[in-house]
């Protein structure tokens, strides 16, 4: 482990800090019960909605589309995914779809997240470096009690991970060298992109991110820190 000189910890959020799959399923369940003709598994709906996440951001990363905040992409993706479940979005009041889109603002943290962040905050600047937009992160933090020092991430950097600009602009905004910033994430590809930019890296294994029946890949590089939860993370950083 090489933690020397870290001054800020920035966090992937969906999957790393919060359980997006259970939260979206919980929020979507009453909507699906009202609108789907047959029985729909809300977790399968959450997976299908999430599947459109990377392709939508890729339009921005590739330069084919100007930066567009995630709430807008999620809303478009909702219109796209509903027909897969036999629902024509045109038949649903827009206000109801807008409300369902806020499911992503109402995700529960993993049980260890708030306590770990609270410990880390005593010694480090802590902030999300998420692809989620600012108001999404603010709503989530207020509901869940996530004690961020600031809301950073794609909307502030105007670039989606895993574009290098997402990491490098975040370090620049913090007025730090990249090596003074550590990305915390449950995803190897996010950490690999951060490491290429010179950030330090902490892997947190989240076995339940994709549900009880799918085991996520473990660390595939020797990340600077490799832990199983935010209690171990806080301890690794001396807090």
Rounded to a whole number of angstroms, the minimum distance from the CB of residue 12 to a copy of itself is: 18
140 within 8 A of 18, measured Cβ to Cβ: yes
Size of the site for a copy of itself (CB under 8 A): 20
Q: Residue 141 is encoded by which pair of tokens?
A: 């933090």
95 binds a copy of itself (CB under 8 A): no
Q: Please report whether residue 71 would count as binding a copy of itself according to CB under 8 A.
A: yes
Handedness of CA 135, 138, 141, 146 (dihedral sign): positive
> x-or-dash pattern for a copy of itself, window 21-60, by CB under 8 A?
----------------------------------------
CA-angle at 166, arms to 219 and 216, nearest 5°: 25
Distance CA 191, CA 181 (A): 12
Helices (H), the chain: 20-35, 42-51, 53-61, 70-81, 94-101, 113-121, 134-144, 154-157, 164-173, 188-196, 230-236
What's phi and psi for 52, nearest 5 deg? Answer: -85, 0
User: Toward a copy of itself, which CB reaches closer, 110 or 124?
Assistant: 124
Rg of the chain taking only CA atoms, in angstroms: 18
Q: How far is the CB of 195 from a copy of itself (least distance, A)?
A: 23
Judged by beta carbon, residue 33 or residue 173, the one nearer a copy of itself is 173
- Interactions with a copy of itself, residue window 120-159 (CB under 8 A): 125, 127, 133-135, 137-138, 141-142, 148-152, 155-156
- Closest distance to a copy of itself from the beta carbon of 138 (Å): 5
Using the minimum distance from each CB to a copy of itself, give the nearer residue, 105 or 187: 105
Touching a copy of itself, residues 177-236 (CB under 8 A): none
**Nearest distance from C-beta of residue 99 to a copy of itself, angstroms:** 13
Q: Which CB sits closer to a copy of itself, 82 or 151?
A: 151
Residue with tokens 């991430």: 153
Residues forming a β-bridge with 201: 183
Question: Which positions lie near a copy of itself, rule CB under 8 A?
Answer: 71, 125, 127, 133-135, 137-138, 141-142, 148-152, 155-156, 173-175
């Amino acid at each position: 482990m090489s933690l020397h000189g870290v001054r800020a910890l920035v966090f992937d959020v969906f999957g790393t800090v919060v359980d997006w799959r259970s939260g979206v399923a919980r929020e979507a369940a009453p909507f699906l019960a009202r609108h789907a003709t047959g029985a729909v598994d809300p977790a399968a709906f959450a997976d299908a909605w999430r599947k459109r996440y990377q392709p939508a951001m890729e339009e921005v990363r590739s330069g084919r589309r100007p930066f567009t905040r995630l709430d807008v992409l999620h809303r478009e993706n909702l219109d796209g995914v509903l027909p897969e479940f036999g629902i024509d979005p045109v038949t649903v009041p827009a206000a109801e779809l807008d409300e369902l889109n806020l499911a992503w603002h109402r995700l529960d943290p993993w049980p260890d997240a708030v306590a770990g962040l609270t410990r880390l905050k005593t010694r480090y600047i802590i902030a999300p470096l998420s692809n989620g937009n600012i108001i999404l992160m603010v709503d989530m933090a207020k509901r869940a009690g996530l004690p961020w020092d600031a809301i950073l991430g794609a909307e502030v950097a105007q670039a989606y991970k895993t574009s290098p600009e997402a990491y490098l602009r975040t370090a620049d905004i913090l007025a730090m060298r990249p090596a003074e910033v550590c990305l915390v994430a449950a995803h190897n590809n996010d950490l690999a992109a951060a490491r290429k930019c010179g950030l330090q890296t902490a892997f947190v294994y989240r076995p339940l991110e994709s549900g009880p029946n799918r085991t996520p890949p473990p660390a595939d590089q020797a990340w600077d820190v490799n832990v199983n939860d935010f209690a171990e993370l806080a301890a690794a950083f001396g807090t």
